[in-house]
Amino acid sequence: MGRDFWVMLGLSLLLVVMALGKSKSINRIEGGILFVLFLGYQVYLFANMAA
């Protein structure tokens, strides 16, 4: 399996852990963390595509 599968699986597991936490919802900070991780991965993919 490719790298994308493992990265998305990891982020999906992180999402589940955050969603099933104490408050049973994702707050702004947690959503921001997920968003920044997603954007960082997109930038990484774009940078390696050009190389």
Among residues 35, 49, 36, which one has the least CA distance to residue 3? 49
Kindly report the number of other CB atoms within 10 A of residue 46's CB atom.
10
On the 0-12 / 13-18 / 19+ scale of CB atoms within 10 A, 30 is middle
Domain boundaries, the chain: 4-50
pLDDT tens across 8-49, in order? 899 999 999 888 988 888 889 989 999 999 999 999 889 988
pLDDT category at 51 given cuts 50, 70, 90 is low
Task: Give me the pLDDT at residue 39, please.
Answer: 94
